[in-house]
């Protein structure tokens, strides 16, 4: 069995990635075609190419395409962050959710909504600044984790433990602020925390793309150093990789990717955990295949989750993050239990 | 400093917090020889080995490689000169043998220096020299302890360093694999000309394989020299607090220590 998979693995990764890319494109097109009115796929394609009539153009280009594109970017970004974290901690249970990044962003959003609302629950500033608050919160969250773990931040386990502790504190603060806050603030915050891809416009996509691309390039550049980072610390250092320093860089990179990904769509859970894990299953051990596979799977998952909520709950807008949580939480439990069997 | 010296350790002091592990220790490691560091638990032998590979930063003193202070070398540069096999190295179970041995070439590569024919030659030489070439497609998780140790040694060999350090390489191996592993280490020395620095717990194995034997005690060198000169009943008592009888083993003519009682 293992001999068979290793002989196939040479041809397997490119094939698997090509299939994933095809699934992604089909899902994305269906994501644009589906909605309050069905637009046939060939018309979707022609509108994207620049043809089509005015209302169709409006629906496709301004309403549906942006949510599909942001879903692909955010899902992909979070999945790559998760992939990096799972590799560098040598732990398949690591994910962006445990580093205090997502909860830091949530706290940023809640504080933003609380601090800048007036007596009649209306925001005194534009809601467009909410993603900025999320990003500031995310960066402060990870910074706090690193500050508190201090000298110990070079140890993967210590850093994860501090991340989980900080995330728990942030979660509690978010809960308190939502309970004592007015209704508007609470529902708006709950929406962000669950993670939703509707009401996204192109300028927000441009911002996301502009910040995500350099981080993804850095991830590809860092991939060369990933194989030695899979060894224990002494062995990695003895072949010339300063693992403690590299680890901190990867944690920072993963935090940045997560912050940019969640800034506009909110804290979509479990994609950063599931996508990299599945990517390893379908694309094998190669680092580059894993990176690309994670991005594709993350994109597919969030586009798919958004499609599911639109089909099931239309015309009510349910956050796509609810679907990833409903699927992701049992998956997490399954991982935990199968590892337990394995370890025992 | 002569050209017979691979490493010169010069008044090295090293500790954690207020605890001193190595205290103004000086020692030379001869080129192309096998040096074995031995001594009781906590004597600082593993710490010294790690200091040689710059995994611990000394608080005073220096280590010279030829004429270069190792603290002045970059990470990759140092990794091309001194290799270290950790006491309990670990790698993912689904990594293949060839993938692991390839990692030995990591310090010889960079963004602008991708995998070269030189790397292939070093990889094949290392796998052939350690007899693991037939295992190349196997996953590490499927190997026996003895096979796994050979693969790790192959990785260090592929690194093509002048100096190879090994931290208790036979710790978890049974008798036949202990001999197998140390014979392989001796082959690294004789066939590939590497300078070997070895930490060993077993005094009789140390005496059998060492060109230079170094006894450490309380963070300092208690004595060093050829095993035949060094293994005396008086010195064993002083270093290990054990009354022992030293005889010459009839097969190899090396000193053999028979421990009698603790003092």
HEC profile of chain B: CCCCEEEEEEEEEEEECCEEEEEEEEEEEECCCEEEEECCCCCCHHHHHHHHCCCCCCCEEEEEECCEEHHHCCHHHHHCCEEEECCCCCCCCCCEHHHHHHHCCHHHCECCECCCHHHHHHHHHHHHHCCCHHHCCCEHHHCCHHHHHHHHHHHHHHCCCCEEEEECCCCCCCHHHHHHHHHHHHHHHHCCCCEEEEECCCHHHHHHHCCEEEEEECCEEEEEECHHHHCCHHHHHHHHCEEEEEEECCCCCCEEEEEEEEC
**Residue A257 C-alpha, separation from nearest chain B C-alpha, in angstroms:** 23
Q: What is the dihedral of CA A131, A137, A141, A147, to 10 degrees?
A: 130
| Chain A hits for B160, Cβ within 8 Å | none
Out of B79, B90, B94, the one facing A238 most closely (by C-beta) is: B79
Q: Inspect the interface and report whether the beta carbons of A234 and B142 lie closer than 8 Å.
A: no
Which phi and psi (to 5°) does residue B147 adopt? -60, -45
Q: Inspect the interface and report whether the beta carbons of A228 and B103 lie closer than 8 Å.
A: yes
How confident is the model at residue A339, as a pLDDT? 61
How confident is the model at residue A2, as a pLDDT? 39
User: Which chain A residue's Cα is nearest to B159?
Assistant: A239
User: Which chain A residue's Cα is nearest to B104?
Assistant: A239
* Spatial CB neighbours of B45, under 8 Å, sequence gap ≥ 6: B37, B38, B39, B199, B216
Find the mean pLDDT for residues B158-177: 92
- Tell me the residues of chain A between 273 and 332 that have a Cβ less than 8 Å away from chain B: 285
Q: Return the residue in B74, B78, B91, B98 with the most chain A beta carbons within 10 A, the one to mutate for interface testing.
A: B91
Residues from B in contact with A at Cβ < 8 Å: 50, 53, 55, 75-76, 78-80, 82-92, 94-96, 99, 103-104, 106-107, 111, 137, 139, 142, 155-156, 159
pLDDT at B35 exceeding the cut of 60: yes
- Tell me the residues of chain A between 251 and 280 that have a Cβ less than 8 Å away from chain B: none
User: Which chain A residue's Cα is nearest to B53?
Assistant: A238
* Strand pairing report for B195-199 and B163-167: parallel
| Chain A hits for B76, Cβ within 8 Å | 240
| Chain B hits for A2, Cβ within 8 Å | 139, 142
| Chain B hits for A239, Cβ within 8 Å | 79, 83, 103-104, 106-107, 155, 159
Q: Return the residue in A240, A283, A290 with the most chain B beta carbons within 10 A, the one to mutate for interface testing.
A: A240
Q: Are B55 and B165 in contact (CB under 8 A)?
A: no
Q: Inspect the interface and report whether the beta carbons of A2 and B142 lie closer than 8 Å.
A: yes
| Chain B hits for A246, Cβ within 8 Å | none
pLDDT at B234 exceeding the cut of 60: yes
Q: Return the residue in B103, B115, B154, B158 with the most chain A beta carbons within 10 A, the one to mutate for interface testing.
A: B103
CA distances in angstroms from B94 to A6, A124, A336, B86, B91, listed in the order given: 10, 56, 19, 20, 9
Q: Return the residue in A239, A246, A277 with the most chain B beta carbons within 10 A, the one to mutate for interface testing.
A: A239
Q: Are B53 and B84 in contact (CB under 8 A)?
A: yes
Beginning with the edge strand found earlier in the chain, give each strand of the sheet holding B195-199 in spatial order.
B82-85, B163-167, B195-199, B34-38, B212-217, B220-225
User: Residue B116 is encoded by which pair of tokens?
Assistant: 């070269």
Residue B215 or residue B113, greater confidence: B215
ipTM of predicted assembly, 2 dp: 0.90
Q: Does A40 touch chain B (CB under 8 A)?
A: no
| Chain A hits for B159, Cβ within 8 Å | 239
User: Which chain A residue's Cα is nearest to B50?
Assistant: A234
Q: Inspect the interface and report whether the beta carbons of B75 and A242 lie closer than 8 Å.
A: yes
pTM: 0.85
**Residue B84 C-alpha, separation from nearest chain A C-alpha, in angstroms:** 6
**Residue A232 C-alpha, separation from nearest chain B C-alpha, in angstroms:** 5
Find the mean pLDDT for residues B8-32: 91
pLDDT in tens, B71-125: 999 999 999 999 999 998 999 988 999 999 999 999 998 888 888 999 999 999 9
pLDDT at B247 exceeding the cut of 90: yes
Cα separation, A225 vs A265, in Å, equals 31
Find the mean pLDDT for residues B9-23: 89
Cα separation, A52 vs A331, in Å, equals 42
**Residue B93 C-alpha, separation from nearest chain A C-alpha, in angstroms:** 11
Q: How many percent of chain B have pLDDT more than 70?
A: 99
* Spatial CB neighbours of A123, under 8 Å, sequence gap ≥ 6: A113, A116, A117
pLDDT digits (tens), chain A, 344 positions: 333 444 444 567 888 899 999 999 999 888 888 877 788 877 888 887 877 788 888 888 888 888 899 999 999 999 999 999 889 888 777 888 877 888 898 898 888 888 877 666 666 677 677 778 888 888 888 888 878 877 666 667 777 788 888 889 998 998 888 888 776 677 777 877 877 777 778 888 888 899 899 999 999 999 988 999 999 989 999 999 998 889 888 988 998 899 889 888 888 878 998 999 999 888 888 899 999 999 999 999 999 998 888 888 877 777 888 888 888 888 878 877 776 544 43
Q: Inspect the interface and report whether the beta carbons of B95 and A230 lie closer than 8 Å.
A: yes
């Amino acid at each position: 069995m293992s001999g068979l998979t290793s002989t196939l693995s040479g041809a397997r990764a490119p094939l698997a990635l090509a299939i994933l890319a095809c699934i992604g494109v089909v899902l994305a097109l269906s994501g644009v075609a589906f909605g309050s009115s069905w637009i046939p796929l060939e018309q979707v394609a022609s509108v994207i190419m620049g043809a089509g009539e005015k209302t169709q153009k409006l629906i496709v280009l301004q309403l549906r395409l942006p949510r599909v594109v942001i879903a692909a970017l955010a899902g992909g970004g979070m999945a790559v962050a998760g992939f990096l974290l799972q590799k560098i901690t040598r732990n398949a249970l690591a994910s962006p959710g445990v580093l205090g990044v997502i909860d830091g962003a949530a706290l940023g959003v809640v504080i933003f909504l609380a601090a800048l609302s007036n007596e009649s629950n209306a925001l005194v500033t534009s809601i467009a600044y909410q993603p900025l608050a999320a990003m500031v919160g995310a960066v402060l969250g990870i910074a706090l984790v690193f500050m508190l773990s201090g000298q110990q931040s070079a140890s993967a386990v210590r850093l994860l433990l501090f991340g989980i502790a900080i995330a728990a504190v942030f979660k509690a603060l978010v809960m308190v602020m939502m309970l004592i806050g007015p209704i508007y603030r609470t529902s708006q915050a709950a929406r962000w925390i669950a993670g939703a891809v509707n009401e996204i416009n192109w300028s927000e996509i441009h911002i996301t793309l502009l910040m995500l691309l350099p981080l993804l390039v850095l991830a590809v550049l860092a991939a060369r150093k990933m194989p030695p980072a899979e060894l224990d610390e002494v062995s990695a250092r003895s072949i010339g990789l300063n693992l403690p320093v590299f680890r901190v860089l990867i944690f920072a990179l993963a935090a940045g990717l997560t912050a940019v990904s969640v800034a506009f769509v909110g804290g979509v859970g479990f994609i950063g955990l599931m996508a990299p894990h599945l990517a390893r299953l379908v694309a094998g051990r190669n680092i580059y295949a894993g990176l690309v596979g994670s991005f594709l799977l993350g994109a597919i998952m969030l586009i798919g989750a958004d499609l599911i909520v639109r089909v099931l709950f239309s015309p009510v807008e349910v956050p796509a993050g609810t679907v990833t949580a409903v699927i992701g939480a049992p998956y997490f439990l399954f991982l935990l239990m199968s590892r337990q069997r394995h370890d025992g | 400093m002569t050209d017979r010296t691979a490493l010169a350790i010069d008044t090295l002091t090293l500790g954690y917090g207020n605890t001193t592990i190595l205290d103004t220790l000086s020692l030379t490691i001869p080129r192309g020889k096998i040096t074995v560091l031995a001594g009781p638990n906590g004597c600082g032998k593993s710490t010294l080995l790690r200091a040689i590979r710059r995994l611990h930063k000394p608080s005073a003193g220096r280590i010279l490689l030829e004429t270069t202070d190792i603290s002045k070398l970059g990470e990759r540069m140092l990794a091309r000169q001194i290799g270290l096999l950790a006491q309990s190295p670990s790698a993912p179970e689904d990594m293949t043998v060839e993938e692991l041995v390839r990692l030995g070439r990591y310090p010889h590569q960079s963004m602008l220096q991708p995998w070269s024919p030189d790397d292939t030659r070093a990889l094949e030489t290392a796998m052939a020299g350690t007899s693991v070439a037939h295992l190349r497609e196997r996953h590490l998780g499927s190997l026996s302890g003895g096979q796994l140790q050979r693969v790790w040694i192959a990785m260090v060999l592929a690194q093509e360093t002048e100096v190879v350090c090994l931290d208790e390489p036979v710790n978890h191996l049974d008798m036949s694999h202990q001999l197998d592993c140390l014979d392989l280490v001796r082959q690294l020395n004789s066939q590939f000309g590497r300078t070997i620095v070895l930490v060993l717990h077993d005094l009789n194995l140390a005496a059998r394989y060492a060109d230079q034997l170094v006894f450490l005690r309380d963070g300092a060198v208690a004595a060093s020299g050829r095993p035949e000169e060094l293994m005396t009943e008086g010195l064993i008592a002083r270093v290990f607090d054990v009354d022992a009888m030293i005889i010459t083993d009839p097969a190899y003519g090396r000193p053999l220590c028979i421990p009698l009682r603790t003092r």
